[in-house]
A and B are shown apart, each in its own frame.
Chain A
């Protein structure tokens, strides 16, 4: 995405990602979604979950309740593609700066805040998974 400099081409890419969005499956979470999975400051009403894989990596799931949440859906797909299958300690180092790199000209203060908050939420979920993993190791 960082290499796509043309604004309309970037927009097309982002929309194509949004088109691929699949909501969190019911075996992971059902409505009403728990508030502690809500992405703060996100006007698209996004939610996020991190589920540990057997190999210790994480799988991320999202829900976007606002039908106009195209950017949130695009970011959810990108985060899932790039971070699912990654170990939590690596996810915890991801910077919210990636939002500006991905969305470039298609960003404004309000929208950017929500999108960065999605990244922060994913990091928080990863850190929580790290501490739970450490606790389990200590108990073992």
Chain B
């Protein structure tokens, strides 16, 4: 039994162990993708054969605050040598924040053959597995996709406002200082800050990091996650839930946990998150 299966997740196949990745490095139907917050990391050494997908340069629209559209995604997939039949496996730093973010964006385009490597980059490194600086080039592919569909996994501002009016559950995954409004932004770096601090009314505070075993960097077992999200915080897997953070990267991690590890039926990531809500005129805020 795979190590991840022993933890009885709702969709265990979406999570793979480092050992699985190690034995599939040369599998032509698998493409390992590294996505990090620290853009230096991939170049400093990566899993052999892994390609780099940078969330700023590869997934974001260069002008509008939005993600790439059909043409951009097709171009990206072509460049990294992926077809509709390729299973992409994401990993990265910060316990897979950005890997989950990239995974989430790929779901907006319906590439469901996607997995996350449990434990991310740090687990691979701690296990002293091989890293290389060699950048492998893959033959370009012809990748065709439908236009991006945000309806299932992405929440926008108006939907969030209605969600609060209906008193439906929200999950704020930020730090306690951000949730309480004590911290608005990093000193001297207001680019990702907000004019107002606090949280969206009714949002439960469940920091993203609670889903991770701090000793291994791997996701906690389903029992442990159930305890945190269902028992302690009384989230209902049948209810519509929206997760948010500052720009949607930490909340995509929680979206992944709720949807794939715990099997919640209707979870969306509000990527506008606090950088939008905290700057939005005349929306309710709690402290």
Q: Is the CB of A108 within 8 A of B125?
A: no
Which residues of the other chain, A, contact B44 by a CB distance below 8 angstroms? Answer: 15, 18, 70
Q: A68-B93, A111-B38 are in contact. Are A12 and B121 (CB under 8 A)?
A: no
Q: Assess whether A28 is interfacial by the CB under 8 Å rule.
A: no
Which residues of the other chain, A, contact B38 by a CB distance below 8 angstroms? Answer: 68, 70-71, 106, 108, 111
Q: Is the CB of B40 within 8 A of A97?
A: no
Q: Assess whether A74 is interfacial by the CB under 8 Å rule.
A: yes
In B109-136, the 8 Å CB interface with A consists of 121-122, 125-126
Q: Is the CB of A109 within 8 A of B186?
A: yes
The residue in chain A whose Cβ has the minimal distance to the Cβ of B126 is: A67
Q: Interface range on chain B: under 10, 10 to 19, 20 to 34, or 35 or more?
A: 20 to 34
Q: Is the CB of B185 within 8 A of A66?
A: no
Q: A67-B125, A67-B126, A96-B188 are in contact. Are A110 and B43 (CB under 8 A)?
A: no
Which residues of the other chain, A, contact B25 by a CB distance below 8 angstroms? Answer: none
Q: Is the CB of A109 within 8 A of B40?
A: no
Give A66 to B93 CA distance when docked, in angstroms: 10
Q: Assess whether B94 is interfacial by the CB under 8 Å rule.
A: yes
| B40, B121, B122: residue with the most chain A Cβ atoms closer than 10 Å | B40
Residue count of chain A within 8 Å CB distance of chain B: 24
Give A66 to B246 CA distance when docked, in angstroms: 24
Q: A18-B40, A68-B121, A109-B191 are in contact. Are A43 and B94 (CB under 8 A)?
A: yes
Which residues of the other chain, A, contact B188 by a CB distance below 8 angstroms? Answer: 96-97, 116
Checking A12, A111, A112, A113 against B43 with a beta-carbon cut-off of 8 angstroms, the contacting residue is A12
Checking B122, B185, B189, B246 against A68 with a beta-carbon cut-off of 8 angstroms, the contacting residue is B122
Q: Assess whether A126 is interfacial by the CB under 8 Å rule.
A: no
Q: Assess whether B137 is interfacial by the CB under 8 Å rule.
A: no
Q: Interface readout for A16-44 with B: 1 if CB under 8 Å, 0 if not? A: 00100000000000000000000000010
Give A71 to B189 CA distance when docked, in angstroms: 18
Q: Assess whether A51 is interfacial by the CB under 8 Å rule.
A: no
The residue in chain B whose Cβ has the minimal distance to the Cβ of A66 is: B122
Q: A106-B40, A111-B37, A111-B38 are in contact. Are A67 and B189 (CB under 8 A)?
A: no
- Whole-angstrom distance from the CB of B151 to the nearest CB of chain A? 29
Q: Is the CB of B40 within 8 A of A71?
A: yes
Checking B93, B121, B192 against A109 with a beta-carbon cut-off of 8 angstroms, the contacting residue is B192
Which residues of the other chain, A, contact B40 by a CB distance below 8 angstroms? Answer: 11, 14-15, 18, 70-71, 74, 106
Which 9 pairs show the lowest CB-CB distances between chains A and B? Answer: A67-B125, A109-B192, A70-B44, A113-B186, A70-B40, A106-B39, A15-B44, A68-B93, A109-B186
